[in-house]
A = this chain, B = another copy of it.
């Protein structure tokens, strides 16, 4: 029963878990997955230096973390060539998006995103009573022109773009993204989700300019740095925007050991380079497996490959279910026409072996 004391907004919201965890699916099916390829995690794990740093930091876990997230914040600032006050660090990009919408979106305010893009952003917008306006993808790409046009039309407070895009793996050029930033309406803030940016070509990354108040960018340690379970993401923006986060965030919310792990991961450039190479090879392997089975892999700038299964959403959903039933955890886009695809994260070589073995079987299951 809904608690009658909830605010009208809270009462209107559903109680949901946005994504079912693979562990929950494993509990339901009564067996572990043989290949965990559904959550865009880095199966290779983080830098051994990060693991070591976290082991060392465990002896201090009885202490609260530092609310400014120092020295991580300053190290990130140096790494990015910005000032520390242009950075806000929080419990993953998810956590930071939740704060951002509270800062910029009141009940009834308009927010623009793409139909089929990141559901957790939409979840947070709904959580503050914002009104989502969704524009269609243009092929397998988010459509900057349509997003900007809609932002003007509806007087949007925020307009969201992910680059590279999840769930499609597509990425726009730096020039295209910069042109979108330049076109953001005066009273609107652009949310540039770059969770997967490390995997993408440099040519997709506009110059970071923290004197520009039109955009806030989000990066994370969950993807290329292999620390999804640590919960550390960060926002990069003009200091006037960043300082807003200190109005409402959970200042002591980041795990102290995770702070140490992220710092060590950041400093291991060699491991990151190795990761990017391994992931690039994994994308090629997944694409080959898809083609071997008559499916069409989409080009990807991220750590996953989205595979066009050539039919409609029901077909792709059936294939996903068949793969899951055969021990291969994958996910897929939620909205047509993107939902003709399944999405496969780069996993360990032996996990991709499992995929190669089970994909034809799963296709047989649903034939």
| A residues whose Cβ falls under 8 Å from a Cβ of B | 1-10, 13-19, 21, 23-24, 36, 39, 41-46, 51, 54-55, 58-68, 70, 91-92, 94-95, 98, 102-106, 109, 124, 127, 157, 187-189, 213, 222, 226-231, 240-241, 243-248, 250-258, 261
Q: Contact at A62–B91, with CB atoms within 8 Å?
A: no
Contacts of A9 in B (CB 8 A): 106
CB distance A250 to B91 under 8 Å?
yes
Please give, as numbers and ranges, the residues of chain B lying within 8 Å of A42 by CB-CB distance: 62
A94 touches B62 (CB 8 A): no
**Contacts A104-B10, A248-B127 given; does A255 touch B240 at CB 8 Å:** no
Chain B residues lying within 8 Å of A124, measured Cβ to Cβ, are 248
CB closest residue in chain B, given A248: B127
Instruction: Give the Cβ gap from A272 to chain B, nearest Cβ, in Å.
Output: 14
Given A7-B105, A61-B229, A94-B253, 11 further pairs, Cβ under 8 A? A5-B187, A5-B188, A6-B103, A10-B102, A19-B252, A21-B66, A21-B68, A24-B66, A24-B68, A60-B229, A91-B91
* Chain B residues, CB < 8 A from A229: 60-65, 255-257
Q: Are B92 and A252 neighbours in the complex by a CB distance under 8 Å?
A: yes
* Interface contact A54-B44, CB-CB below 8 Å: no
Tell which of B244, B247, B257 touches A257, judged by Cβ atoms closer than 8 Å. Answer: B257
Q: Which residues of B contact A256 (CB under 8 A)?
A: 228-230
Nearest CB of B to A58, in Å: 5
Give complex CA distance A6, B197 in Å.
27
Question: CB distance A106 to B7 under 8 Å?
Answer: yes
Q: How near does chain B come to A156, taking the closest CB pair, in angstroms?
A: 10
Note all chain B residues with C-beta closer than 8 A to A65.
229, 231
Contact of A16 among B13, B41, B246 (CB under 8 A): B246
Choose from B44, B67, B247 the contact partner of A15 (Cβ within 8 Å): B247
